[in-house]
Amino acid sequence: MIFYQLDYVVDEVLKNLPTREQFFLKQYLEKDFEKKEAKYLWERIINHKWYVSERLKRDVGFRVAAVDYFENFYEPEAVFGSKNNQTGIWRRIFRPVGSALRSYFVAKSKVLQQ
């Protein structure tokens, strides 16, 4: 048996395995991301989770932070280039609606805390 050929096969298999970030984003958002994009998105979601938790004065959980960040803030065409321009158009149309809803719920939570 030639060992260097086996090493090559093992390296190729391990290179194509999803990273930890890809695995969890697939689980939480039900969408596949490339390795570079998954790492970028993972860091932003962790920061977003901290920010939202501080604003609401409670832990919101990673899934809630991931969905909120992905739906309201993430613009893949700005960072990685767009594969589909249609999604960018819809996101630009509905972003003000999301901001208005977020403002409403933040104001409502302040009223309920009093």
What does the pLDDT look like over 84-97, one tens digit per residue? 555 566 666 667 77
Question: What integer pLDDT is reported at residue 78 of this predicted model?
Answer: 62
Give the count of beta carbons closer than 10 Å to the beta carbon of residue 45. 25
Confidence of residue 10 (pLDDT cuts 50, 70, 90): confident
Give the count of beta carbons closer than 10 Å to the beta carbon of residue 42. 19
Q: Where are the domains of the chain?
A: 3-113
Question: What integer pLDDT is reported at residue 9 of this predicted model?
Answer: 79
Residue 62, both tokens: 């990673």
CB 59 within 8 A of CB 48: no
Per-residue model confidence as pLDDT tens digits over 49-83: 999 999 999 999 999 999 889 888 887 766 666 55
Phi, psi dihedral angles at 22 (to 5 degrees) = -60, -40
Identify the sign of the CA torsion 90, 77, 37, 14.
Answer: positive
